[in-house]
Amino acid sequence: MEQSSKSAFAKQVSKSRLEFLFDGVFAIAMTLMVLELKVPELQNRLSAHELGAALLHHGRTFFSYILSFFALSMFWMVHNRIYINLKKISNTCLAIHIWLLAVAAFFPFCAHLLGKFPGNRLTLQIYFGTVFAYFFGIFLLIIAAEKQKLFDPAVEAKDIRKLRNRFLRSCVIILTAFVFYSFFPFGK
Amino acid sequence: MEQSSKSAFAKQVSKSRLEFLFDGVFAIAMTLMVLELKVPELQNRLSAHELGAALLHHGRTFFSYILSFFALSMFWMVHNRIYINLKKISNTCLAIHIWLLAVAAFFPFCAHLLGKFPGNRLTLQIYFGTVFAYFFGIFLLIIAAEKQKLFDPAVEAKDIRKLRNRFLRSCVIILTAFVFYSFFPFGK
Amino acid sequence: MEQSSKSAFAKQVSKSRLEFLFDGVFAIAMTLMVLELKVPELQNRLSAHELGAALLHHGRTFFSYILSFFALSMFWMVHNRIYINLKKISNTCLAIHIWLLAVAAFFPFCAHLLGKFPGNRLTLQIYFGTVFAYFFGIFLLIIAAEKQKLFDPAVEAKDIRKLRNRFLRSCVIILTAFVFYSFFPFGK
Amino acid sequence: MEQSSKSAFAKQVSKSRLEFLFDGVFAIAMTLMVLELKVPELQNRLSAHELGAALLHHGRTFFSYILSFFALSMFWMVHNRIYINLKKISNTCLAIHIWLLAVAAFFPFCAHLLGKFPGNRLTLQIYFGTVFAYFFGIFLLIIAAEKQKLFDPAVEAKDIRKLRNRFLRSCVIILTAFVFYSFFPFGK
């Protein structure tokens, strides 16, 4: 009796709405980065040469935009691959999603930082730290979903284990690169 | 006869579309706040130390961003928990949603204000006032849905009552904190 | 034979995707307006009095924001009421939607204009002209949907006629106000 | 056995989520362009004449906004017409979508460039280059979907061929115009 009244009053978040919010934040984060691409000022408005030079001068901003766009796309795809196999959303799972969204919304800032100070060591630490924060969140999501049996029952346990190990590996690689880069005393 | 012609010409808003608009506004409000995080200017572009100091100097902006991001997430979750149990949308209910959306869209401004003037008493009044405005809106939504029988019939009345009382309590707590903070003569 | 091959290769736009795009543009337009609300600069960062005065000084920007937010909400609701009764989307109908979206995306600019030059006659002409452009688009949408039989067959013709007449009336009222305001020689 | 375990653990991206992301990016790109429309500064705040002159002075920005809005709408419609006939999404197909999204997100920058330097030859090269990049992406999408049999089986092969040829033609026309414009020695 109690059981059925519980199931009538839905307490969890609907899976499709979390999807909308997630995809919305990613769509905006991806498009926001373009705002940083500033149209330059020219002395001779008709000179293609001057415009080209001005744009090339901002070349690294463009590069950072493209790199970060593809990084965000990869983030989105990675999440997609896990989410499609989930059957329901628990509170832990929701909290991890908020974390993932906060990281994704923060990413355009990292992209701007990289565009402006590409050679600065702290910039790269922040950039890779953010990438690590995302991948680690995904890793936690897999663990939580496994523990709380949120995966579709039709999905075999070994597929989940393989997925989890792949993400653990990614996290370790990013972290190693990060630590190595941070403490190895090259340059300044 | 009249009844059936009425039901053919749908007069209410579709539940799923209000959901899209709602989730869209939240996704944008959450991501817009990052625009306020400005990349600092540096004298030595390669100095990690200078960049770190510049970012730390804006530490409270970051803190305000994180706090407001989680506040907006909580707003979204709270709405979700009620919306999932509604069966249809009335006009009153729609008006309350417009109110909730206006508050949510206004929230990034509060976050900027908090990031810039964290010690100012008016800032905190506006911030908490906005939080109160949202929770009060949710409370009205529950009342309206209860009166107009918009909840899923499978949901038991005592669950709704419990939910309503919980929100009433939240509103009273926020309001008390707000009034206490506003009139208690500490500092200036 | 030809008929069936035509129906297999879908040529029209999916109704749900046009909905996503529409709701997305509205969600963004509604939230973008808040970007114009600038956090003021203060001499004494802790003075609630100075902050209050600075915000009040921008009072008309806030007023314009609130007014335009509700105008956009109304635009969205009005569209909703028609769209929910459509069964499919024709090319004419799609073109009218592009028009409606262009008007909605332009609306934040009108809101900024109103916030900055509320007393300027041209501002109000542009503002009301935009409102008229939207309502006229909705009116055309009803006409086109009626001509091309896009409404759900269950909807009775008299309901559609009533709806159309209501919008025609709205258009005429807005246009009259607009013309009257534009040519009546008061003030300057 | 292996076959069924493969189908249980979904590896592809859900078609509807790619749709959300796509429509989200387009909605934002369309609305972002309006941010470039700056409210002018006036000496006499009440002078409709001065405001009109100031807005007319930015006439080409408005023109560029309108043109680019309709270009983006066309991009969206073109994609829609193909996507609605797809049955599933492969990895190649996903990669092409990321490309299309990157181009769409970049488009507001092109619009700003056109608004600011309409007479500059490089501006038009970038603008048309971006349009070409989008159409070429759509062309690749059709080829990939044809090769990997992603189209709905009910769609006849000759309809797909017709569609593909139409896009090939569009690509060739844009490319010819682009090359002709770039190398023909008129003006400077």
Provide the pLDDT for residue A47: 84
Looking at per-residue confidence, does A36 or C101 come out higher?
Answer: C101
pLDDT band at A3 (very low <50, low <70, confident <90, very high): very low
Q: Which chains touch B (3 or more CB pairs under 8 A)?
A: A, C, D
* CA distance from start to end of chain A: 68
Provide the pLDDT for residue D115: 87
pLDDT, tens digit, 9 for 90 and up, residues B49-62: 888 888 888 888 88
pLDDT, tens digit, 9 for 90 and up, residues B146-157: 999 888 888 888
Looking at per-residue confidence, does A185 or A116 come out higher?
Answer: A116
Please list the pLDDT of chain D residue by residue as tens digits (188 residues): 334 444 467 777 788 889 999 999 999 999 988 877 888 888 888 888 888 888 888 888 888 888 999 999 999 999 998 898 888 888 899 999 999 999 999 999 999 888 888 888 888 889 989 999 999 999 999 999 999 988 888 888 888 888 889 889 989 998 888 888 777 655 44
CA–CA min distance A28, chain C (Å): 9
Which of B30, B122, B130, B188 to probe the C interface (max C CBs under 10 A)? B122
CA–CA min distance C89, chain B (Å): 17
Provide the pLDDT for residue D8: 65
Residues in chain A, overall count: 188
pLDDT band at B185 (very low <50, low <70, confident <90, very high): low
Provide the pLDDT for residue A1: 35
Please tell me the distance from the alpha carbon of residue C19 to that of residue B116, in angstroms, as a whole number.
38
Q: Quick check: A138 and A78 in contact, CB under 8 A?
A: yes
pLDDT, tens digit, 9 for 90 and up, residues A96-120: 999 999 999 999 999 988 888 888 8
Provide the pLDDT for residue C185: 57
Please tell me the distance from the alpha carbon of residue C133 to that of residue C115, in angstroms, as a whole number.
20
| Chain C contact set for D39 (CB, 8 A) | 109, 112-113, 116-117
Residue of D nearest to A51 (CA): D122
| Chain B contact set for A122 (CB, 8 A) | 48, 51-52, 55
What percent of chain C clears pLDDT 70, i.e. is strictly above it?
93
Is there a contact between C27 and D30 if contact means CB atoms under 8 Å apart?
Answer: no
| Chain B contact set for C47 (CB, 8 A) | 120, 188
- By Cβ distance, the residue of D23, D34, D48 closest to C17 is D23
Instruction: Look at residue D151 and give its three-state secondary structure.
Output: strand
| Domain assignments of chain A as residue spans, ordered by start | 13-183
- By Cβ distance, the residue of A116, A121, A188 closest to B39 is A116
Residue of A nearest to D1 (CA): A156
pTM, two decimal places: 0.89
Mean pLDDT along residues A127-137: 93
Is there a contact between C27 and D27 if contact means CB atoms under 8 Å apart?
Answer: yes
| Chain D contact set for B24 (CB, 8 A) | 24, 27
Question: What is the rounded average pLDDT for all residues in chain A?
Answer: 85
Is there a contact between A155 and D29 if contact means CB atoms under 8 Å apart?
Answer: no
pLDDT, tens digit, 9 for 90 and up, residues B120-134: 888 888 998 999 999
CA–CA min distance C84, chain B (Å): 7
Residue of C nearest to B36 (CA): C35
Is there a contact between A14 and B84 if contact means CB atoms under 8 Å apart?
Answer: yes
The angle at the Cα of A131, spanning A130 to A133, to the nearest 5 degrees, equals 60
Provide the pLDDT for residue A13: 78
Size of interface A-D (CB pairs under 8 A): 105
| Chain A contact set for C27 (CB, 8 A) | 24
DSSP state, D86? B
Q: Please tell me the least confidently modeled range out of A81-95, A155-169, C172-186, D90-104.
A: C172-186
Provide the pLDDT for residue A160: 87
Please name the amino acid found at residue B59: G
Which of C26, C31, C79 to probe the B interface (max B CBs under 10 A)? C31
- By Cβ distance, the residue of A27, A35, A70 closest to D98 is A70
What percent of chain C clears pLDDT 90, i.e. is strictly above it?
36
pLDDT, tens digit, 9 for 90 and up, residues C120-157: 888 888 998 999 999 999 999 999 999 998 888 888 88
- By Cβ distance, the residue of C33, C46, C152 closest to B120 is C46
pLDDT, tens digit, 9 for 90 and up, residues C61-79: 888 888 999 999 999 999 9
Please name the amino acid found at residue B102: A
Q: Which residues of C touch A (CB under 8 A)?
A: 24, 27
Q: Which residues of B touch D (CB under 8 A)?
A: 24, 27
What percent of chain B clears pLDDT 70, i.e. is strictly above it?
93
- By Cβ distance, the residue of A66, A81, A156 closest to D8 is A156
Please tell me the distance from the alpha carbon of residue A129 to that of residue A126, in angstroms, as a whole number.
5
Per-residue pLDDT at B2 exceeds 50: no
pLDDT, tens digit, 9 for 90 and up, residues C84-124: 888 888 889 999 999 999 999 999 999 988 888 888 888 88
Provide the pLDDT for residue A40: 84
Residue B147 φ then ψ, to 5°:
-60, -45
Is there a contact between A11 and B69 if contact means CB atoms under 8 Å apart?
Answer: no
Provide the pLDDT for residue D36: 76
Provide the pLDDT for residue C4: 41
pLDDT band at C23 (very low <50, low <70, confident <90, very high): very high
pLDDT, tens digit, 9 for 90 and up, residues B90-119: 889 999 999 999 999 999 999 988 888 888
Per-residue pLDDT at A155 exceeds 90: no
CA–CA min distance C61, chain B (Å): 13
Is there a contact between B27 and A25 if contact means CB atoms under 8 Å apart?
Answer: yes
Instruction: Look at residue A11 and give its three-state secondary structure.
Output: coil
Provide the pLDDT for residue A188: 44
| Chain B contact set for D24 (CB, 8 A) | 24, 27
Provide the pLDDT for residue D16: 87
Please name the amino acid found at residue A40: P
| Chain C contact set for B103 (CB, 8 A) | none
Provide the pLDDT for residue B188: 44
For tokens 């991206």, what's the residue? D13
Q: Quick check: D130 and D109 in contact, CB under 8 A?
A: no
For tokens 């990895």, what's the residue? D91
- By Cβ distance, the residue of C31, C80, C159 closest to B105 is C31
Per-residue pLDDT at A52 exceeds 80: yes
Provide the pLDDT for residue C5: 41
Is there a contact between D10 and A66 if contact means CB atoms under 8 Å apart?
Answer: no
Please name the amino acid found at residue A49: H
Is there a contact between D32 and A37 if contact means CB atoms under 8 Å apart?
Answer: no
The angle at the Cα of A53, spanning A49 to A56, to the nearest 5 degrees, equals 135
Is there a contact between D109 and A48 if contact means CB atoms under 8 Å apart?
Answer: no
Per-residue pLDDT at B3 exceeds 50: no
- By Cβ distance, the residue of C23, C52, C152 closest to B21 is C23
pLDDT, tens digit, 9 for 90 and up, residues B9-37: 777 778 888 999 999 999 999 998 887 78
- By Cβ distance, the residue of A34, A51, A152 closest to D122 is A51
Q: Quick check: D111 and D61 in contact, CB under 8 A?
A: no
Size of interface B-D (CB pairs under 8 A): 3
The neighbour count for residue D61, using CB atoms within 10 Å, is: 20
| Chain C contact set for D52 (CB, 8 A) | 122
Please tell me the distance from the alpha carbon of residue B96 to that of residue B103, in angstroms, as a whole number.
11
